């Protein structure tokens, strides 16, 4: 199996490469330190699987996954993350990743996950599986013809509306009678779910939806 490692931390990337080099069935064909590099190497090398860090400078792992799966649907992608409850993991699943593995996983678990996803399987934890079940079983808080916003809750849509009006986190907190920290958490979830990098991009996405 031909594997591309996309990870911005050199020491971790080196450790994964050294581990894979001890096997007879996994061949590291390239290494990337950003989403842009992962995209370029996916075009050049056409690996069987990409081990994709979810948080990298520039283009993050979610955007890279979306672009790669659109251009090369046969390439399997396994997400690397530090946190089991990272909301971004679920977003990555939606754009085509087949599972995720924690960065503190032991060597056997990492190798098993790579082999499973590389052979067409999937690697999900119970919390991600539960989130997916909830997503597909619950009624949406926004119209069905607005797929970009389908995952947002009613409260998140309310906060997105305030962002679009130009309100700061402090203004949103005062208006909704919640803490600044709670607003910041909501904003982070909104950006992850919409797959955008900042609140201005989220605002533009909402404005475009209204124009359409």
How much is the pTM? 0.64
What are the distances in angstroms from CA 167 to CA 55, 78, 139, 200?
A: 27, 37, 28, 11
Report d(CA 129, CA 127) in Å as an integer.
Answer: 5
Dihedral sign from CA coordinates of 12, 85, 117, 108: positive
- The residue written with tokens 């208006």 in the block is 175
Q: DSSP E strands: which ranges in the chain? A: 2-6, 27-32, 49-53, 76-81, 100-102
- Could you list the pLDDT tens digit for every one of the 212 residues in the chain? 999 999 999 999 999 999 999 999 999 999 999 999 999 999 999 999 999 998 888 888 888 998 999 999 999 999 988 876 666 777 788 788 998 888 888 899 899 999 999 999 988 766 666 666 665 555 444 444 456 677 888 889 899 989 988 889 999 998 888 898 899 889 988 988 888 888 888 888 887 776 65
């Amino acid at each position: 199996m031909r594997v591309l490692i996309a990870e911005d931390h050199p020491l971790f990337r080196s450790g994964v490469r050294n581990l894979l080099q001890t096997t007879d069935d996994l061949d590291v064909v390239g290494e990337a330190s950003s989403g842009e590099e992962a995209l370029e190497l996916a075009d050049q090398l056409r690996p069987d699987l990409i081990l994709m860090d979810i948080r990298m400078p520039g283009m993050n792992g979610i955007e890279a996954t979306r672009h790669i799966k659109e251009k090369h649907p046969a390439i399997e992608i396994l997400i690397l993350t530090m946190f089991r409850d990272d909301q971004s993991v679920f977003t990555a699943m939606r754009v085509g990743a087949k599972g995720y593995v924690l960065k503190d996983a032991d060597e056997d678990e990492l190798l098993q996950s790579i082999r499973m996803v590389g052979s067409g399987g999937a690697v999900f934890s119970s919390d991600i599986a539960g989130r997916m079940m909830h997503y597909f079983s619950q009624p949406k808080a926004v119209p069905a013809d607005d797929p970009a916003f389908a995952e947002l809750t009613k409260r998140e849509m309310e906060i997105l509306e305030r962002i679009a009006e130009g309100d700061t986190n402090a203004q949103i907190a005062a208006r909704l009678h919640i803490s600044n920290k709670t607003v910041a958490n909501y904003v982070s979830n909104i950006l992850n779910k919409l797959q955008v990098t900042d609140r201005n991009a989220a605002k533009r996405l909402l404005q475009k939806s209204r124009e359409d």
